[in-house]
Structure 1
Amino acid sequence: MIVWRPGTGRSREFEETALVHLDALYRSALRFTRNRAEAEDVLQETFLKAFRSFHRFNPGTSCRAWLFTILRNTFLNRVRDARWEVLEKDADAWEGAAESATAGPSAGANPEEEFFQTVLHGDVDRALKALPLVFREAVVLVDLEGLSYKEVAQVLGCPIGTVMSRLARGRGLLRRALREFAREHGYIKESE
């Protein structure tokens, strides 16, 4: 994980501006890579690149979008350069990543909360991780990280209309996957 030592000047400005987004970037890295160790490596490389090029960041623009752009490019470069495969066909591996990424139920949780935190959250996470990367990126950045369509368009380097269509397609694929889960577990009838 990243160990940061407080500093002065440039590093203090970086801390105040960029490090507030650390958790959101880690969650996204974990969802993109589907592997905790890879996510940590991508995140560390992202922050190193961001710190080194912080002098090029334009104050008044979205630091969050700038960081997500660096994160996405770092991830894609690692995939391309290292030629490691994102675990598309190994269901067991990404189920394990989903389980390790999700927190267990809290000690005081009632049975309903426990169900939502373990069963449903795990299935939503697995369905999300099964999405093709172009749709997963849009869903993660808009629905989970709260970026605006404009910010996501900047991060992905595509028009807002493309973000909207990828998001609609990704949400549709998620809806179908989760509907199938609900049918299999008897939460909805076959006719629904």
Structure 2
Amino acid sequence: MNRDTAGFSYLPVEPTERQRFESTALPHLDALYRMAMRLCRDPSEAEDLVQDTMVRAFRFWSGFKPGTSIRAWLFTILRNTYINRYHRKNRRRDANHDLERQAASLETGLGPVACPPPLPDQVVARRVTRDRIEEALASLPPDYKLAVTLADIEGLSYREIADIMECPIGTVMSRIYRGRKRLHGLLHDHAVAAGFAAPDHEKDAPIPMARYRKRGSA
């Protein structure tokens, strides 16, 4: 993403403060755009989302605590901005609350959840195409998609993801576990349909998410 499109230069602020913001936040602009693309699935909407995120980050720059994770702070703003835009566009507040309740019930009902290890490039699943992985990821419920993307593509810790999603670590683990499980099923079905795997063979084979880490989705 072109850093000149961040859209915050017009906001009134001291030059030194603007320079500090630019040197600290702009290196993460590409990561924000990758995340926005996976949330929006549209380049124009993704750019608008990143622009709104950077404007808000600049406006509330005084609230950032030096020594904490700037990336997690920016992702939190992007996530909240996306949710606000999503609600305005689709008017689905009730559906979002239902999803939160379902995630909370997973945490309280299942107890500690052991997440599978990160998904390496191995076996049959490595033959699944990038477009199919993106399609499968996009089909996940919003919170599952965000949690899996932050963990397996952006490489954030559970603690950072919990801060971004504003939920307990146990809820993050549940969302990642459920999201990965759905991806396994979707991509295995694709591999079977394409003749890469037998219907009952290696259904739990890992999927090649790691190869897309730190890359754009366009």
CA spacing shift, 1:80–1:2, aligned 2, 3 Å: farther
User: Which has a greater percent of helix?
Assistant: 1
Q: Distance in 2 between matches of 1:191 and 1:62?
A: 43
User: How high is the TM-score relative to the length of structure 1?
Assistant: 0.78
Distance in 1, matches of 2:183 and 2:49, equals 26
* Equivalent residues in 2 for 1:126-165, closer than 5 Å: 126-165=135-174
Q: CA-to-partner distance for each residue in 1:45-87, whole Å, 9 max, x for gaps?
A: 00000011111100011111110000000001011123378xx
* Greater relative contact order structure (CA < 8 Å, 6+ sep): 2
Match of 1:184 in 2: 193
Q: Look up the match of 1:41.
A: 48
* 8 Å Cα contact 1:131/1:170 also seen in 2: yes
- Give the TM-score normalised by the residue count of structure 2: 0.69
| 1:60 and 2:67 aligned | yes
Matched to 1:11, the amino acid is: R
Q: Which runs of 4+ in 1 moved over 4 A?
A: none
Structure 1 residue 120 and structure 2 residue 143: aligned?
A: no
How far residue 11 of structure 1 moved from its aligned partner, in angstroms, is 1.3
- The answer as to 2:182 corresponding to 1:173 is yes
Query: Unpaired runs of 5+ in structure 1?
Result: 86-115
Identify the residue that residue 21 of structure 1 maps to in structure 2: 28
Identity between Structure 1 and Structure 2 (%): 46
Confirm or deny: 8 A CA contact 2:3 2:29 kept in the other structure.
no
Equivalent-residue separation in structure 2 for 1:37 and 1:140 (angstroms): 20
Alpha-carbon offset, residue 184 of structure 1: 0.3
The answer to whether residue 82 in structure 2 is matched with residue 75 in structure 1 is yes
1:2 and 1:44 in contact (8 A); partners too: no
Tell me how far apart the structure 1 counterparts of residues 15 and 165 of structure 2 sit (CA, whole Å).
33
Count of matched residue positions in the alignment of Structure 1 and Structure 2: 160
